[in-house]
């Protein structure tokens, strides 16, 4: 399936949001733009899909999770699991195994948003216990509830990508959260057009077989969203607003 021919479910508009990484202001701005778009262009049904990495690196993981929990009351919202979200859960269970990674790649900011101060060389087991006590139960439930993939007609939404030439039902969790080069360098069509994040690009990257929507919000301030309806694709981002520079297939 390729860009310009892949179709969403009938009468359904999909908003797919890239890696958030604790960037609450950008997330709130993006949802305001989505509401404006829905008001200006009403549609029978809509679904918002976030492709993972809610925690780490940015300033307010707690605010992001609270906000998304609230948005579940307003929108049909599907939240996928990123590698950073997986590491957060692993840190709660196996701090000595994953603690260095978690702290090095943004976990210090995540814990600080919950009122837990951390240092790189802290006692990892104690730090994990402190973090677990600080996490609201509904936040733990949120991270545990995250899906690995979402299929919407001829589109597939996933955090990092998929292993080429492997059927969707046989994809590994590790690949869906972590894969890079084997997926990014693959040029042939997959069975679905893949929408993903995980690998930062300066702008949303439209390829014939995939769309990368991770524009590094924690560094750039640009949280991006691809808007899909039928075969048409457009963009919204937290800096430029609605950008109709996408396209439409036959």
The DSSP letter of residue 97 is H
Distances 237 to 48, 52, 206 between C-alpha atoms, Å: 14, 17, 15
Name the band, by pLDDT with cuts 50, 70 and 90, for residue 119: confident
Set out the domains of the chain in order of their start, with CATH numbers. 12-77+148-248 (3.60.21.10)
Is a pLDDT exceeding 50 seen at residue 215?
yes
Read off the tokens for 46.
């809509």
User: 87: burial class by Cβ within 10 Å (0-12, 13-18, 19+)?
Assistant: buried
Between β-strands 155-158 and 193-196, what pairing exists: parallel, antiparallel or unpaired?
Answer: parallel
* Pairing state between β 210-212 and 205-207: antiparallel
Mean pLDDT for 106-128 is 91
Separation CA 9–CA 228 (nearest Å): 10
What's the whole-number mean pLDDT along residues 84-112? 95
Mean pLDDT confidence for 206-229: 97
pLDDT at 240: 83
Average pLDDT over residues 47-65: 97
Average per-residue pLDDT in the chain? Answer: 95
Total Cβ atoms within 10 A of residue 57:
22
CA angle 15, 243, 27 (to 5 degrees): 50
pLDDT over 80 at 30, yes or no: yes
pLDDT at residue 245 in the model: 54
Find the mean pLDDT for residues 1-16. 95
Average pLDDT over residues 111-117: 95
Share of the chain above pLDDT 70, in %: 96
Give, in order, the Cα–Cα distances in Å from 25 to each of 30, 35, 52, 222.
Answer: 9, 16, 17, 10
Q: Nearest to residue 222, comparing CAs of 235, 207, 206?
A: 235
Query: Judging by beta carbons within 10 Å of its beta carbon (0-12, 13-18, 19+), is residue 120 exposed, middle or buried?
Result: exposed
Lowest mean pLDDT among 45-59, 111-125, 186-200: 111-125
């Amino acid at each position: 399936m390729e860009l310009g021919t892949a179709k969403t479910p009938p009468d359904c508009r999909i908003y797919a949001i890239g890696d958030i990484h604790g960037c609450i202001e950008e997330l709130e701005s993006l949802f305001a733009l989505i509401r404006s778009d829905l008001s200006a262009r009403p549609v029978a049904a809509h679904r918002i899909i976030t492709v993972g990495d809610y925690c780490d690196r940015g300033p307010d993981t707690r605010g992001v999770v609270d906000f998304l929990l609230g948005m579940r009351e307003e929108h049909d919202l599907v939240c996928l699991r990123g590698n950073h979200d997986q590491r957060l859960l692993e840190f709660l269970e196996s701090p000595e195994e994953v603690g260095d990674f978690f702290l090095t790649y943004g976990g210090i900011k995540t814990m600080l948003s919950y009122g837990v101060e951390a240092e790189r060389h802290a006692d990892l087991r104690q730090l994990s216990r402190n973090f677990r006590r600080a996490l609201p139960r509904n936040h733990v439930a949120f991270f545990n509830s995250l899906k690995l993939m979402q299929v919407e007609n001829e589109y597939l939404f996933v955090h990092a990508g998929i292993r080429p030439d492997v059927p969707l039902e046989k994809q590994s969790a590790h690949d869906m959260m972590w894969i890079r080069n084997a997926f990014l360098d693959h040029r042939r069509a997959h069975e679905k057009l893949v929408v993903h994040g995980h690998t930062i690009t300066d702008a949303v990257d439209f390829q014939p077989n995939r769309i990368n929507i991770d524009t590094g919000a924690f560094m750039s301030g640009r949280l991006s969203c691809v808007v899909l309806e039928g075969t048409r694709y457009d963009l919204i981002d937290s800096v430029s607003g609605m950008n109709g520079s996408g396209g439409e297939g036959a």
